Structures are given as C-alpha cells and as structure tokens.
Amino acid sequence: MLNNPTKLLFMMTLMSGTLISVSANSWFGAWIGLEINLLSFIPMMSNSSNLMTTESSLKYFLTQALASATLLFTVILSAMMFGSSSSMWMTNPIMITLINSSLLLKMGAAPLHFWFPGVMEGLDWMNGLMLMTWQKIAPLMLISYNLKMDLFIMFVIISSIFIGSIGGLNQTSIRKILAYSSINHLGWLISALLMGESLLSLYFLIYTFLTTSIVIMLNSFQLTHVNQMFSMNFTPPVIKFSLFVTFLSLGGLPPFIGFLPLWIIKSMTSAGFHFLTTTMVVMTLVTLYYYLRTSFSAFLLTYSETLWQTNFSLSKNYPLILTLAMLSTTGLIFTSLLTSIL
C-alpha cells in the first residue's frame, strides 16, 4: 500500500490529522484535525480494481460528514450561548450528549453503527485494519474529555456489546465478523476509558495487536469468507492453528493474551457497576461462541488434507505469522510471570 508516493502522502496527512485532534487545545482545532483525517482516508479507500470501494468510500464520507457537521454545530452553538472561552457548557447535558453522539458516530459505536459493517465489507484488508484501529484513536481521546457515567453512556456501552455480539452470529463474511467484533470491543473500550486512560491504553494496544495479527494472516492467504478458512488444505497445519488461536484470543478466551484486557471487570466491579459488568460478560460469551463455533468446525468437522499434495507454498509472511501467533498464545502467561517477578 505504501509503494505509491500518493498513498504515502495521504498516510502521513491521515496520521497528522489524528495527532492534531489529540493535541488540540480547542474543539475547533480538534474538528480541523478530524477533517484532515477524513479527507486523507477517503482517497486511500478508493481502488479502481474494486468497485465496492466506491460505495464504501461514499458511505464513509456521508456518515463522517454528518458527524463532523454535528460536532461543529454543537461547538458553534456552545460558543454563542456560553462564550468561546467559557467552560460552562461542560455542565450542559444536551451539549455533552450532542458532542459525544458525533464522536460515537465517527467511531461506529452502537446504536450509531449502521455504516460500519457495510463500509468494512467493501474495503481491502489494510484499509479495513486502519478503520478498525487507527481511526478510533482521535474520537476516543476527544470523548474522554467530557465522558462520565450516565444513562446515555451506559446505553451506548450495552448496545455496542449487545449488537456486536448478536450481529456476528449469522455472518459468513470475515470482514463483517471483524466489524461486529470491533463494535463489541468499542463497548469495552468506552468502559475502560471510564475506569482510566491507562486501562484504555492497555486494552487498545492489545486489541490493535490481535486485529493486526489476524489481518496479516487473512491478507497473506486472501481469505474473505469463513468457508475459505475451512479449506486451507495446502498450508501447514500450524498456520491454520495460528489463525484460529488469534481469533480465540480476540474473543477473550483464557489463557491467551486477549483475556488480559478483560481484567477491567475488577475495576468496574470495585466501582459498583455490577449490572453493567454482568451484561458485558454475558454478551461477550456470545462473541466467543461464534469464534469457537468457527474454530471447532475448521479443526474437527471439516478438516481435510489431500495425500498427494505434499509440497505447499509458504507465504513470505510465514515467520511473522508464527511470531504473532506465539505472542498471542503465550503473552498472558509471560505477562503474569513478569508481574509476579516485579
């Protein structure tokens, strides 16, 4: 993707737009950074060899433009009502809800998730990875400035985890499964943000690592649907094992490293959010169910290997895939040992 100078330029401006938003000292500056980020990502999405990217880029542009317009309208309205240098609007629940809604729409959190699976379906793997990881940084940081637990945020967390869990049950497209998984993880990310930015950083780093590992494997073998994963006959069994281990880790199954961020349950229980924690854990088990269902089917039920095909073609990413899978499998164990030693 970066062998094109134009793509490299847009990648640099996309990252600089996110950094401008995170480091801005006013909401106008944050809005400018979000717009630079948006206008840099749209050309990266387009691909002349794939007509679905045109539809995805149009969907993405319209929803992001709506969110940016809502954010700018709210900022201008609060400046007119309370003054541009006043922070009194931070106590106004309507203004806070409007700003949070625009940022949640930019992230794709439920119930404002309607565009996310459709956009993901039309993107290639690398752009989809950007959409699931980097494009969430600026809205998450901006929403942390005025985030507090109320009925609206609790509804967003529960609906994100519920829709992310239920939506992936009947999907056969891997891109849509990862999209609904991302919506599910957004509920956990917002919950981690309520408990502190250090927990958010831990969760986001591990989620980014696991998503990147899965996307690298899927992109290496050009997999797009679940039935293609079942028939990976001409690859070493360890590659198939690595792929599904990373999927289970993303679902939060112990003893893989994906279980580590779920320890925010302890902080939420200590803070008294018992109903919210119970709901999150139960719905995350649904997400883990369809990962387990796919993994068991691929390993036990539909596994086949042709006897006459003895020489398989190794991907050039073979060492990288094995390294990422090993980190995903043993990361939690090593982290626990390191914690106990220190």
pLDDT of residue 336: 64
What is the average pLDDT value for the chain, to the nearest integer? 85
- Give me the torsion for CA of 130, 179, 107, 148, rounded to 10°: -130
- Give me the torsion for CA of 27, 28, 33, 35, rounded to 10°: 120
Structural domain harbouring 89: 5-341
* DSSP-derived 3-state class of residue 169: coil
Compute the distance between CA of residue 103 and CA of residue 207 in angstroms, rounded to an integer.
20
| Range from 36-40, 229-233, 285-289, 310-314 carrying the lowest mean pLDDT | 310-314
**Residue 36 reports pLDDT greater than 80:** yes
* DSSP-derived 3-state class of residue 115: coil
**Residue 310 reports pLDDT greater than 70:** no
**Structural domains counted in the chain:** 1
Structure tokens at 240: 């198939």
Q: How confident is the model at residue 244 (pLDDT cuts 50, 70, 90)?
A: confident
pLDDT digits (tens, 9 = 90+) for 2-21: 567 888 899 999 999 999 99
Structure tokens at 108: 């794709």
Helices (H), the chain: 5-23, 27-45, 52-82, 93-107, 116-122, 125-132, 137-143, 151-167, 174-195, 197-221, 226-230, 237-251, 264-270, 274-296, 318-341
